[in-house]
């Protein structure tokens, strides 16, 4: 083993003091080149160890390898590092395991629709086990960028628009990946990304500039990252984007002042792929040498893919621009992560210690996650659930009904479509010979402009009692760099709906999508809409169970659905403004008289040509039963700055079916040192209610929960009046109020 192992005889023998001592001891033995070597993350050979990589590892020039999932190759990489490099420092082996490994869970945005941290944690745990069995010890997840622009393809990877929900679910993912003991078999290091503000890319175009005032950065974009740090996340990845003129990869405010000094993060910060080299492309530096200097001094410890550190850090130290102390801090952050992972003690992977890839219990968990991710957006004439007993025939239409690959969604490098069960297959299995299933694709892909399959689809509809259409977006239309300027249904899908609507049959739309779609024109043409996102390996059975009432839907939107693309950005937690649009002041373009005088249309905040409300608000989601809220109350009636307050309401299942409701707590701070949002989510609970059951739901609030960053960009708690709501969606009206007192 390595000389560093000598420290095992030192006292103390565990805990952070011991860890820091081991790091110091190792650092003392390292040359500057070996230190800089630890900062390099390089691509793997993909299933073999190329000669140049072996040599680089032997020379101590590699700290991490990215994208190797062949366990024999990973073990050979580790053996080379541990046995053939001078100091025997093991490697971090990184991989994007975003929503499952071989077993694919719903896309993160879909998982977020479950509003179920335990389910999200389990999904990450299973993904960690499968990835770890291939030698991966570091994943680049959770992605916790607040995403309020559905044009941005990466919204699919996100947990939605809200800081509180994203923080809760992102922390759950961290716990799932890392387990209680990061060094245990099956635990892998998580990486909260992309730090920070990436979701605010202008016009929803990936990699674009972001301009986020510091107050908004702190109040909206950073809280999920702080929650991840509090949950013990091992690493952070910087964003590709320019943040207020200083690209995130070189942004000292966020990387040093906030992350390290204010939050006390002592883990590893990695760049995004080539993002240090790209500092010059941004026009922030004149070339790689300056880029290396800016990123390193801002606090990026490891460089992914590009090699500016390898080429320039040593000379920057020799020239006196960078200190060896700074280099040591960077290396310590990397070594600390390797020690925490237990890699010095157990560098090799023994897959027999872990469950099989795609084990039955993994697939069962993916199915359950898919069920909870489904959001029933509309069910006007209670066309759902379908009854296998009373239907004679059902038409299953659309390019996404029977595609094992597309249902997996974006970012599934290791997803194995052979484990996928499609909706068509699952519906056939579920109804057996009780119901005839007519299947027609209707249209080749979601983007096709042809009508060649319309006639067959219409014939299938005419022979059926009900039509279920699987439409939306294929996986390739969302994810990194897959952005859209118009988020309606692509291709000829709307025309297909029109053709099917002309049959007069009840229409159910199952939306498979990586983002909210703008469906104002489409929704009135159909009777029911189920948002299934990209539901993963077992999405098919989950959809079948919900369509046929084996399960009642319980998902709630983690993101607003706009009516039309032009409404973006539209999100529930917006500011009130001085002249808000209201039902009384709204004027539709068709109602404006010819030659109307300028001041005749109200002068409040709305678009003339679309209603000012969204199509579906954040938090919306129906069930096969109905829930009602009443009696929102607070106890005690005032919240003292050192106290707590309990907010309660009665929730009743008013239907004759059991169901699960997500009760949501929102507050509004009426007057602020800076203007405050009209509503902010502060709590949620999944509540199971039997038919006609009535139950109290309660939440506790503290002044800390009501604090925010004010004009001086410091956290403040301001006395004053608050409104508080408990309900089943962000548009809830069931409200109480209280004062926060000195």
Please give the residue ranges that form the binding site for ligand NOJ (CB under 6 A): 96, 140, 193, 272-273, 480
Q: Between β-strands 64-66 and 191-195, what pairing exists: parallel, antiparallel or unpaired?
A: unpaired
Q: Round to whole Å and give the CA distance between 308 and 326.
A: 17
> Using an 8 Å Cβ cutoff, are 619 and 733 in contact?
no
For the chain, how big is the Rg over CA atoms in Å?
27
Q: DSSP letter for 429, please.
A: H
Minimum Å gap between C-beta 143 and ligand NOJ is 7
Q: Which residues contact 411 (CB under 8 A, 6 or more apart)?
A: 96, 98, 99, 107, 156, 157, 479, 480
Length, in residues, of the chain: 742
Nearer to ligand NOJ, 297 or 306 (CB): 306
- Residue showing the smallest CB distance to ligand NOJ in the complex: 140
Nearer to ligand NOJ, 141 or 468 (CB): 141
Minimum Å gap between C-beta 140 and ligand NOJ is 3
**Nearest in space to 701 (alpha carbons), one of 731, 677, 670, 722:** 722
Nearer to ligand NOJ, 125 or 154 (CB): 154
Per residue, what are the HEC states of 601-631? HCCCECCCCCCCCCCECCCCCECCCCEEEEE
Nearer to ligand NOJ, 140 or 548 (CB): 140
b/e sequence 360-396, b meaning 16+ C-beta within 10 Å: eebbebbbbbbbbbbbbbbbeeebbbbebeebeebbb
Minimum Å gap between C-beta 272 and ligand NOJ is 5
Tokens of residue 153, six digits? 């393809």
- The strand ranges marked E within 122-227 are 138-139, 191-195
Its sign, for the CA torsion 101, 104, 110, 114, is negative
Nearer to ligand NOJ, 96 or 545 (CB): 96
Known catalytic residue at 272: yes
Q: Of these residues, 145, 149, 272, 414, which one is catalytic?
A: 272
Minimum Å gap between C-beta 141 and ligand NOJ is 8
Neighbours of 436 (CB within 10 A): 14
Minimum Å gap between C-beta 265 and ligand NOJ is 19
Minimum Å gap between C-beta 367 and ligand NOJ is 27
Bond preceding residue 369 cis, omega within 30 of 0: no
Nearer to ligand NOJ, 414 or 551 (CB): 414
User: Measuring CA to CA, how many Å separate 181 from each of 171, 174, 228?
Assistant: 15, 12, 16
Nearer to ligand NOJ, 44 or 373 (CB): 44
Q: Round to whole Å and give the CA distance between 387 and 546.
A: 11
Minimum Å gap between C-beta 413 and ligand NOJ is 9
Q: Which residues contact 341 (CB under 8 A, 6 or more apart)?
A: 92, 137, 138, 182, 183, 187, 188, 189, 234
> Mind telling me the catalytic residues?
272
């Amino acid at each position: 083993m390595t000389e560093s192992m000598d420290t095992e005889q030192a006292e103390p023998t565990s805990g952070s003091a011991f860890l820091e001592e081991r790091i110091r001891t190792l650092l003392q033995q390292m040359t500057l080149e070996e230190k800089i070597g630890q900062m390099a993350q390089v691509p793997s050979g993909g299933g073999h160890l190329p000669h140049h990589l072996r040599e680089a590892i032997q020379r101590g020039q590699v700290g991490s390898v990215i994208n190797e999932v062949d366990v024999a190759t990973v073990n050979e990489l580790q053996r080379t590092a541990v046995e053939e490099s001078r100091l025997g420092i093991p490697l971090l082996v990184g991989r994007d395991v975003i929503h499952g490994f071989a077993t694919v869970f719903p896309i993160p945005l879909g998982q977020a629709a479950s509003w179920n941290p335990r389910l999200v944690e389990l999904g990450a745990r299973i993904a960690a086990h499968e990835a770890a069995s291939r030698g991966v010890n570091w994943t680049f997840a959770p992605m916790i960028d607040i995403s309020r622009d559905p044009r941005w393809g990466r919204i699919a990877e996100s947990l939605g628009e809200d800081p509180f929900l994203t923080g809760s679910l992102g922390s759950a993912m961290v716990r799932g990946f890392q387990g209680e003991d990061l060094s245990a078999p099956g635990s892998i290091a998580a990486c909260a990304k992309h730090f920070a503000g990436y979701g605010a890319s202008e016009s929803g175009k990936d990699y674009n500039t972001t301009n986020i005032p510091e107050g908004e950065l702190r109040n909206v974009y950073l809280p999920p990252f702080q929650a991840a740090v509090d949950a013990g996340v091992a690493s952070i990845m910087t964003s590709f984007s320019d943040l207020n003129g200083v690209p995130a990869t070189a942004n000292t405010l966020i990387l040093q002042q906030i992350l390290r000094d204010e939050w006390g993060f002592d883990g590893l910060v990695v760049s995004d792929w080539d993002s240090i080299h790209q500092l010059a492309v941004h026009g922030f530096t004149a070339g790689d040498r300056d880029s290396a200097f800016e990123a390193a001094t801002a606090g990026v410890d490891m460089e992914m893919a590009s090699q500016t550190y390898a080429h320039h850090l040593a000379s920057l130290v020799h020239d006196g621009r960078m200190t060896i102390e700074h280099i040591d801090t960077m290396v310590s952050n990397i070594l600390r992560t390797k020690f925490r992972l237990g890699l010095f003690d157990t560098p090799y992977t023994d897959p027999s210690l872990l469950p099989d890839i795609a084990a039955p219990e993994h697939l069962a968990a993916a199915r359950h996650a898919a069920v909870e991710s489904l959001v029933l957006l509309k069910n006007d004439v209670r066309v759902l659930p379908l009854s296998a007993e009373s239907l004679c025939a059902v038409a299953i239409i659309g390019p996404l009904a029977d595609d094992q690959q597309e249902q997996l969604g974006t970012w599934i490098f290791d997803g194995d479509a052979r484990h996928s069960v499609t909706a068509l297959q699952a519906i056939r299995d579920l109804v057996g010979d009780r119901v005839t299933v007519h299947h027609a694709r209707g249209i080749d892909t979601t983007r096709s402009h042809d009508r060649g399959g319309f006639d067959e689809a219409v014939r299938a509809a005419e022979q059926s009692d009900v039509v279920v259409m699987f439409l939306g977006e294929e996986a390739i239309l969302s994810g990194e760099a897959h952005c859209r300027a118009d988020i309606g249904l692509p291709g000829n899908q709307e025309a297909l709906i029109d053709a099917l609507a002309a049959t007069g049959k009840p229409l159910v739309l199952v939306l498979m999508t990586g983002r909210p779609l703008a469906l104002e024109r489409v929704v009135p043409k159909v009777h029911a809409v189920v948002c299934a996102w990209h539901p993963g390996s077992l999405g098919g059975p989950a959809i079948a169970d919900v369509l046929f009432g084996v399960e009642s839907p319980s998902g709630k939107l983690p993101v607003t659905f706009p009516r039309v693309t032009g409404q973006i950005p539209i999100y529930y937690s917006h500011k009130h403004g001085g002249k808000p649009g209201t039902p009384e002041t709204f004027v539709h373009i068709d109602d404006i008289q010819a030659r109307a005088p300028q001041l005749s249309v109200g002068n409040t905040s709305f678009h003339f040509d679309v209603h000012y409300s969204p199509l579906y608000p954040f938090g919306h989601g129906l069930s096969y039963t109905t829930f009602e809220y009443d009696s929102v109350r607070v106890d005690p009636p005032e919240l003292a700055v050192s106290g707590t307050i309990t907010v309660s309401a009665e929730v009743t299942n008013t239907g004759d079916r059991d169901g699960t409701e997500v009760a949501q707590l929102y507050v509004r701070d009426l007057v602020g040192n800076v203007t405050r949002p009209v509503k902010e989510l502060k709590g949620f609970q999944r509540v199971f209610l039997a038919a006609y059951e009535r139950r109290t739901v309660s939440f506790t609030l503290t002044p800390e929960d009501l604090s925010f960053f004010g004009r001086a960009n410091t956290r403040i708690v301001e006395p004053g009046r608050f409104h508080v709501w408990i309900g089943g969606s962000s548009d809830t009206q069931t409200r109480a109020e209280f004062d926060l007192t000195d």
